[in-house]
Structure 1
Amino acid sequence: MANASISLNQQTKFVAALAAICAVSWTIAAIHPVDRQAWILENLLLVLFVFALSLTHQHLQLSNASYIFIALFVILHTIGAHYTYAKMPVGLWAKDFFGFSRNHADRVAHFGFGFFLAFPLRELLLRFGGIRRGWSFWLPPAIILAISGFFEILESIVAEIIAPGKGVDWLGGQGDEWDAQNDMLSALLGSLVMMAGVALTSRKKSMR
């Protein structure tokens, strides 16, 4: 019992340190964002997500790896929201250097959404979902795709309310009429890559 208490206390400190890093990153990114209105909208769901995570931390007690992946996604999204994904400097550089037709920073962010969050999602399914181990590799990508689709619909509704007739451009579609579908595909691919990595790692451990 004492060891469990010490372990929980150590993880609480670890999560608090990650939260502090994310908070500092978010605060810096909140200073003079490229588009304040877009920044606010981009951060609404993120703030709700982090708030919900803070309330459920003691109950969920995810692994340190899961919290690291969540923190990496938060930081990635924080940077993207500061510049708006269509104006991300590294994306603009890649566009000029490789001759891309658009800034693909948003695709990277959606890939990161699937990649970083598939791991903690699988952990939650195994712990609380009562699913078989084999399904734990396929359900996270399916859920990530569903969440991504829901967010795309929600974003489109908000965009039409704020900028009627200019929804795709306001969302940073950069002229891509299939922007929503490509974003969803990026998230799906990210989750599949993560699950493939987890499956290979698990297989190697079982063969030892």
Structure 2
Amino acid sequence: MDNESPFFRYFPHGLAAAFTLLWGILAINPVMRDVWWAENLPIIIIFLLLVVTFKIFRFSNLAYGLMACWLILHTIGGHYTFANVPFDFITDFFGFERNHFDRLGHYSIGFYAFPIAEFLTRKRLAKPVVIYLFSLFAIMALAAGYEVIEWWYAVMAGGDAGIEFLGSQGDIWDAQTDMLADTLGAVTTLILFRFSGIRADD
């Protein structure tokens, strides 16, 4: 599926090493350690899952690159808390009233629709229409579920930790906008998947 040159063959390994280094650096002195743990738990789970299953099912390099986007953005958000990531150059340029780094993070969650579609396609588990719809709806369900988890943690933690983890920044439509960002990310990468040339395994 991927080019057999050393660069392409070991691309996931290099990506994993680079991410591990970044994660280790950003694990040092985060803004709020309790929020850092809450934000990094899903990162650790997803990363380890990809490592453990690598020899069982290797995704395309494009899929690994797309999945790395969320891992990286969420790691940065966990270090600073999403509302406080240094993103002023974007905020000031567009005249936003809030820090939209969290929207970018949610948009990248939608990128996981690509590996879902790839897995289903290569394993011949469904017809194309079902694959696209399932991949999209899986991300939408994940987005809704994560908003519930955010609400639960904010209530349980309370105080500054709850506020920072929730990251609404006073936006009453924060949860709905986050879910929209997840969905748009999924739509974008499913269009990309359509033209990626990935086919069922022989």
Aligned residues: CA RMSD = 2.5
The residue aligned with 1:145 is 140
Change (3 A) 1:88 1:143: same
Change over 3 Å in CA distance of 1:97–1:65 after alignment to 2: closer
In structure 2, how many angstroms separate the alpha carbons of the residues matched to 1:33 and 1:18? 23
CA distance in 1, matches of 2:50, 2:91: 36
Cross-structure match for 1:103: 99
Alignment of 1:1-208 (within 5 A): 13-90=10-87, 92-114=88-110, 116-128=111-123, 130-163=125-158, 167=162, 170-200=165-195
Rounded to whole Å, the distance in 1 between the matches of 2:136 and 2:163 is 25
- Structure 1 residues 170, 70: closer, same or farther in 2, change over 3 A? closer
The one-letter code of the counterpart of 1:87 is N
* Contact map agreement 2:73 2:105 (CA 8 A) in 1: yes
> More helix by proportion, 1 or 2?
1
Residue ranges of structure 1 left out of the alignment (5+ in a row): 1-6, 203-208
Alpha-carbon distance in 1 for matches of 2:117, 2:163: 32
Q: Report how many residues are paired.
A: 194
- Identity over aligned residues, as a percent? 37
Q: Work out which of the two has the higher radius of gyration on C-alpha atoms and give 1 or 2.
A: 1
Shift in Å, 1:78: 1.2
CA contact (8 A) 2:83 2:167 kept: yes
TM-score (norm 1): 0.83
- For residues 182 and 72 of structure 1, the distance between their equivalents in structure 2, rounded to whole angstroms, comes to 20
Q: CA deviation at 1:199?
A: 2.5
Tell me the CA shift for residue 197 of structure 1: 2.8
* Residues 83, 164 of structure 2: 8 Å contact kept: no
1: distance between equivalents of 2:42 and 2:28? Answer: 19
Partner of residue 205, structure 1: none
